[in-house]
Structure 1
Amino acid sequence: MQTKDPSYLALLHLGAHLRELTKQRGPDTHGKSIPAPARAADLHNELDALLESTRLNNPWFTEESCLYALRYWGDALSEDSLEHWLSAYKTPGSISLEVALIMAGNIPLVGFHDLIAVLLTGNKALVKSASKDTQLLKYAVSRLAHYDPALKDRIRFTDEKLGAFDAVIATGSTNTSRYFEYYFSKKPHIIRKNRHGVAVLSGQETSAELSGLAEDVFRYFGMGCRSVSKLYVPKGYDFDPLFNAFYPYKHLINHQKYGNNYDYNKAVYLMSGSPMLDNGFLLLKEDKGIGSPIGTLFYEPYEKQEEVVQRLRALSEELQCVVGGSWLVDAIPFGSSQKPELGTYADGVDTVDFLLKTSAESLSAN
């Protein structure tokens, strides 16, 4: 964009703050982070308080998960990253819209991309956040308002029924999307449904690629729409190298909620007589579905790579991302599913373009 919204500088400051804040922990390891010498006692204490309040509100949001999300946004909100993203768009219009944001709460800060898109296009946000993802989001917003006090009037949170607004971006399940489609049919909208990540293996992957796949499977306990929940493997595939790559994530079974899901699904499969592979913390089950439950990873054998391409094409409306080798067109590299660039949009719908066009249409109507 040629003319940047004032929130642009606030976002740059927030990115720098998050990078400094997360330096109060060393490089994250599997299961825990390593304390680093505090550069400033106030930052150290601030991070401790934020992580603890977030975990208490939602046990799925562990310190490791939250630090990963904060680090991701610290890197994403750099000048180079923002410039690369925004350079593809024209100057925002002069009409400021009230955009309602209904956010999911499956992973930390999952709705933050929508929020910054609204701000950078010169609009106001009416935020209805998920009850299980409020601490990190409100923390980020408070920091933005610290850098640009005008944002206090451009970002409003609500727990009530949405009032007046000009457009809406709503993220939920396939079931709730039907309600959203009906309720918001008369407003410009983006309605998101359940989508999933899948990975395609050739059997020739390196140990580094399999380690990357493990990250795609286990990050955020596999609860993200970009988490790999299904594998396509060649017929006769040897799972031993994959299990070796998965082994560093064995600590997840000690997480009460993850462990409960693993135990429940294992009991269901045993009682139904369903064949499965079990490494003690993850169940691999042959299944044609693509949305596997927590603690389970579906897989499906194939004979020819052309088969997989056809299957993926048929499932395109249900897929958020496909992980695989360079031979697979449009696949992203192993280990990158939870590191999307700012210009990678959920469900393939360009949020910024939607907001700019909606603003232009409102200007024409007036």
Structure 2
Amino acid sequence: MNSINTKLSFVELGKFLSQFTLNEQNHRTDVLHNDLYFEKFKDLLSLSQSHNGWFTPEQVYFAVESWAKALREDNINKWLSAYHIDYAQGDKAVKTIGLILAGNIPLVGFHDFLSVLITGHKVLVKASSNDQHLIAFLANYLISIEPELSNYISFTDGKLENFDAIIATGSNNTARYFEFYFKDKPSIIRKNRNSVAVLNGNESHEDLMGLGEDIFRYFGLGCRNVSKLFVPKDYNFDAFFKAIYEYKDVIFYEKYSNNYDYNKAVFLMSNFKLLDNEFLTLKEDASFSSPISSLFYEYYDNIEDLQKRLEIESDQIQCIVSNNLIPNSISFGQTQQPKLWDYADNVDTIRFLFSL
């Protein structure tokens, strides 16, 4: 399979996805196979919430728009420029890579899918029952652009068999199972991670509004969602609550509201002290992983000591958000807009695939 053709197929997919935004679906004549796929994809997007109650139109369209931007040719070229790709290697090094995908947010496993194919390997996908329709549709569109990809893409509902390596994403519990079951295969096994924000009280209103995006996008279900704040002693949360008021309508979504009511009740029955604005509870807690509709926070005395702690516990953290208080942190509002070269768990998927 020619890697150049594969790359160009994904570029065409990006053009196709760019037609779909929450407020407008703009049918373009320069997009390949629109006559076959435009209306079908539009219908699939409208049905996504029936397939997964958390996949509201706002969240699904956000994911689609994000991938439309990511799959621009300049982005793909920049991503791949860090690697040596032998476009003439043919099929001599082709392996079959099994993918076990999560389904917590729309198209969450698409980067692995892209990475396998862009490196010239075959992909065997076991999609999550929570997100099995979107990626299958995009695979079919890719095959319509480059028919040879039909020999490189397959899906299974059952046991993964006849593969050379595995990339699996799941909880800490399933990761232990994956590590045992796939112990004889090259693998990337991803576990639970969470993202944190480090504040010092000098953040602007716009910074804290961006932090709200990091907290509430996808209802907080992603590993890149901020689930915990680190704040200095005597931090005043008034500015934070004022800034995130923009996201108050999240409480009108029933599944989120049910989680809010339940988790708040559990906290109160346990006599925990809470901060609450009627759509988000804040609880002082040393853990990184907070329940949906809640956010943990912890005070710090010294930023240098906090940095050392975060380094020690880095295997539990996906992203750190701050105004450069912590090295290599992400700007507010950007956690759910990763670049192609921002790898989950900081494991370079492309280098892993080239090593096989």
* TM-score interval, smaller chain: over 0.9
Root-mean-square deviation (CA), in Å? 1.7
Task: Mark the CA change 1:278 to 1:20 in structure 2 (over 3 Å): closer, same or farther.
Answer: same
What is residue 119 of structure 2 aligned with on the other side?
Answer: 121
Q: Partners in 1 of 2:234 and 2:45 — Cα distance?
A: 44
Task: Mark the CA change 1:240 to 1:171 in structure 2 (over 3 Å): closer, same or farther.
Answer: same
What is residue 332 of structure 1 aligned with on the other side?
Answer: 330
Deviation at residue 45 of structure 1 after TM alignment: 4.3
Q: Partners in 1 of 2:165 and 2:39 — Cα distance?
A: 39
Secondary structure at the residue paired with 1:341? coil
Aligned-partner residue type, residue 44 of structure 2: L
Which 10-residue stretch deviates more, 91-100 or 283-292?
91-100
Aligned-partner residue type, residue 125 of structure 1: V
Is the counterpart of residue 74 in structure 1 residue 68 in structure 2? yes
Aligned-partner residue type, residue 331 of structure 2: P
Deviation at residue 181 of structure 1 after TM alignment: 0.5
Structure 2: tracts of 5 or more residues without a match: none
Q: How does 1:154-169 map to 2 (within 5 A)?
A: 154-169=152-167
The CA deviation string for residues 20-43 of structure 1, in whole angstroms up to 9 with x for no partner, is 233xx43xxxxxxxx577768978
Q: Partners in 2 of 1:44 and 1:15 — Cα distance?
A: 13
Secondary structure at the residue paired with 2:55? coil
Percent sequence identity over aligned pairs = 49
Q: Partners in 2 of 1:38 and 1:91 — Cα distance?
A: 35
The CA deviation string for residues 132-183 of structure 1, in whole angstroms up to 9 with x for no partner, is 1112111211111111111122111101111110010001111101110011
Q: Partners in 2 of 1:280 and 1:48 — Cα distance?
A: 35
CA contact (8 A) 1:21 1:44 kept: no
Task: Mark the CA change 1:96 to 1:36 in structure 2 (over 3 Å): closer, same or farther.
Answer: closer
Aligned-partner residue type, residue 18 of structure 1: L
Deviation at residue 274 of structure 1 after TM alignment: 0.3
Q: Partners in 1 of 2:61 and 2:321 — Cα distance?
A: 24
Task: Mark the CA change 1:44 to 1:281 in structure 2 (over 3 Å): closer, same or farther.
Answer: farther
Pick one of 260, 263, 285 that aligns with 2:261: 263
What is residue 307 of structure 1 aligned with on the other side?
Answer: 305
Q: How does 1:127-276 map to 2 (within 5 A)?
A: 127-276=125-274
The CA deviation string for residues 229-248 of structure 1, in whole angstroms up to 9 with x for no partner, is 00001111111111111111
Q: What is the TM-score with the length of structure 1 in the denominator? A: 0.91
What is residue 29 of structure 1 aligned with on the other side?
Answer: none
Secondary structure at the residue paired with 1:21? coil
The CA deviation string for residues 87-134 of structure 1, in whole angstroms up to 9 with x for no partner, is 111125531100000001111000000001000110100000100111
Which 10-residue stretch deviates more, 343-352 or 304-313?
304-313
Aligned-partner residue type, residue 204 of structure 1: N
The CA deviation string for residues 279-310 of structure 1, in whole angstroms up to 9 with x for no partner, is 01100000000000001000001122122212
Q: What is the TM-score with the length of structure 2 in the denominator? A: 0.93
Q: Partners in 1 of 2:305 and 2:237 — Cα distance?
A: 21
CA contact (8 A) 1:231 1:298 kept: yes
The CA deviation string for residues 250-291 of structure 1, in whole angstroms up to 9 with x for no partner, is 111111111111111011011110000110110000000000
Q: Partners in 2 of 1:311 and 1:203 — Cα distance?
A: 20
What is residue 84 of structure 1 aligned with on the other side?
Answer: 78
Q: Partners in 2 of 1:206 and 1:143 — Cα distance?
A: 43
CA contact (8 A) 1:5 1:119 kept: no
Q: Which runs of 4+ in 1 moved over 3 A?
A: 35-48
Aligned-partner residue type, residue 191 of structure 1: I
Structure 1: tracts of 5 or more residues without a match: 27-34, 359-366
Q: Partners in 1 of 2:346 and 2:26 — Cα distance?
A: 42
Secondary structure at the residue paired with 2:282? strand
Pick one of 320, 323, 341 that aligns with 1:343: 341
Give the length in aligned residue pairs: 346
Q: Partners in 2 of 1:323 and 1:70 — Cα distance?
A: 24
Q: Partners in 2 of 1:306 and 1:261 — Cα distance?
A: 36
What is residue 297 of structure 1 aligned with on the other side?
Answer: 295
Is the counterpart of residue 7 in structure 1 residue 6 in structure 2? yes
Secondary structure at the residue paired with 1:105? coil
Secondary structure at the residue paired with 1:6? helix
Task: Mark the CA change 1:259 to 1:328 in structure 2 (over 3 Å): closer, same or farther.
Answer: same
What is residue 52 of structure 1 aligned with on the other side?
Answer: 46
